[in-house]
A and B are shown apart, each in its own frame.
Chain A
Amino acid sequence: MIMLEIKNLRKSFGSTEVLKGIDFSLEKSQVLSIIGSSGSGKTTLLRCLNLLEKADEGTVSVNGEVIIDAKEEDNYTDNEIRDKRLKMGLVFQQFNLFPQYNVLDNITLAPITRVKKDKSLSKEEKAERIEAIKSEARDILASVGLSEKASSYPCEISGGQQQRVAIARALILKPEILCFDEPTSALDPELTVEVLKVIKELKTGERTMVIVTHEMEFAKNVSDKVIFMADGVIEEMGTPEEIFDNPKSEKLKAFIHKSQDNF
């Protein structure tokens, strides 16, 4: 079953075309890695999927339903945009935790805010839901190995722990597709490992994920499908074996060669 389908997605900033017609699809429960050199448009692609940028052309469908149609995007109401965004989750390179909230509150802020303003719920129902959200947050926190940090503030935990909190914060909203934009690029190597481990564990939970990464080994291990982007187009797409062991295009060969250079 196709979970994510992107057709002819285009995006320009001023006169520079950053996405020059992106087409691909992703099966449910599969993991897609997107690799490519700096400036090739990977972040812009994820931002378009999460409606942080308006696409100029093209469509994005989730679970068979068109959620973004570039022609219509100007007409979406704020409410519609929020509902569409909730189908996607996004984990940022810079974590972007909320500094004034402790770990647990970072995770529960958005869902609790939603419950509180739901007029169809009675006071008791709200209290019940909020308790449920908190206990679910604790479960998720445990699954990313951070139970004992529930009441710590972001400034009191390491970058790797912050990123795991950011993952938990995205998970509690149960997005159909979870996107990661270079989740480990801001981290030291030893902290990278713990975050990648958490992402790998998510794969067993039937989660559909799109991961932009520079970690080639990780991409090779965790992905069902790999896209190599260059200059705003999909230069090559295939299984990890096809991409990493039998690259066809010269650009991909050069990219893989370069990424294997260890100084």
Chain B
Amino acid sequence: MENFLNVLTELSGGFVTSVLLFFFTLLLSLPLGLIISFCTMSKFKPLSALSKIVVWVLRGTPLMLQVFAIFYLPGLLNLFVWPQMNTGWEWFDTTFSTRFIAALAAFAINYAAYFSEIFRGGIQSISQGQYEAGQVLGMTKSEIFFKIILLQVVKRIIPPMSNEIITLIKDTSLANTIVVCELIFEAKEFMLEGLIWPLFAAGAFYLIFVGVLTVLFNKAEKKLDYFKA
């Protein structure tokens, strides 16, 4: 029994790290993805070409490779070192370790590339007439985007976004390859001690979390059901 509680405590700690990685990745990759999508749609050819190449590389190579590259390369090339938190608050400093920050950077950039393509598809699916209606009413480009276009885009991209976001929570497990102590990392520790069931328990954590996300996405879809776009 003690053993059982002990395992759950360790796993919960790992799960918190996974969820933190998940939230911070979303927080960074959503706006970054929007910026990249604007770059790929830019009329300035060098910018759109460059950003298309970046998206190609980010979507065309394994995320695990990108995690390694982002964690090790800066040091190897003497560019910079990932910062080490030093607040004196132990939980904080160990959770947001150098490794965590590197993994976060890799995830944020990788997911921004995927999100940018979803945003681009959504934005381009809005009819030209919506922009022109805003223009003849004397609205500025940013007013048109934020007050007219954005919510219609959000409504259209909820299904593909929910897919990506559900994939993200499971992809956070890749951080264990650079020894970020997330959920799979903790479960693996027990496996090495000969305990198999914590791996399945870890699976249950993901399942529950994805269940919650699914409910939230359904709610969001319902909420935007009041209009057709």
Contact = CB atoms under 8 A, between A and B. Distances in A.
Interface of A: 50-52, 78, 82-83, 85-86, 88-90, 92, 94, 96-100, 109-110, 113-114, 153-155, 169-170, 173
Interface of B: 127, 129-130, 132-141, 143, 147-148, 151-152, 155, 226-229
12 contacts: A51-B135, A52-B135, A78-B140, A85-B135, A85-B136, A98-B133, A109-B147, A109-B148, A154-B227, A155-B228, A169-B137, A170-B137
A110 B137 contact: yes
A51 B135 CA distance: 9
A113 B138 CA distance: 10
Given A78-B141, A82-B140, A109-B147, A100 B229 contact: yes
A78 B138 CA distance: 10
Contact of A96 (B133, B139, B152): B133
Contacts of A82: 138-140
Contacts of A86: 138
A109 B147 CA distance: 9
Contact of A114 (B130, B134, B138, B155): B138
A110 B141 contact: no
A122 B177 CA distance: 57
A78 B134 CA distance: 14
Contacts of A97: 133
Contacts of A173: 137-138
A210 B151 CA distance: 33
Given A83-B138, A170-B137, 10 more contacts: A50-B136, A52-B132, A78-B140, A78-B141, A85-B136, A86-B138, A96-B127, A109-B148, A113-B143, A153-B226
Contacts of B229: 99-100
A75 B227 CA distance: 39
B143 to A, nearest CB: 6
Contacts of B138: 82-83, 85-86, 110, 114, 173
Contacts of A169: 137
Nearest to B226: A153
A97 B129 CA distance: 9
Contacts of A109: 137, 139, 147-148
A90 B138 CA distance: 11
B149 to A, nearest CB: 9
B85 to A, nearest CB: 41
Contacts of B133: 92, 96-98
B226 to A, nearest CB: 6
A92 B132 CA distance: 9
Contacts of B132: 52, 92, 96
B183 to A, nearest CB: 38
B130 A98 contact: yes
Most buried by B among A98, A154, A170: A98
B227 A96 contact: no
A85 B133 CA distance: 11
Contacts of A92: 129, 132-133
A100 B140 contact: no
B129 A100 contact: no
B125 to A, nearest CB: 13
B129 A113 contact: no
A170 B102 CA distance: 53
Contacts of A114: 138
A105 to B, nearest CB: 10
Nearest to A84: B138
Contacts of B228: 99, 154-155
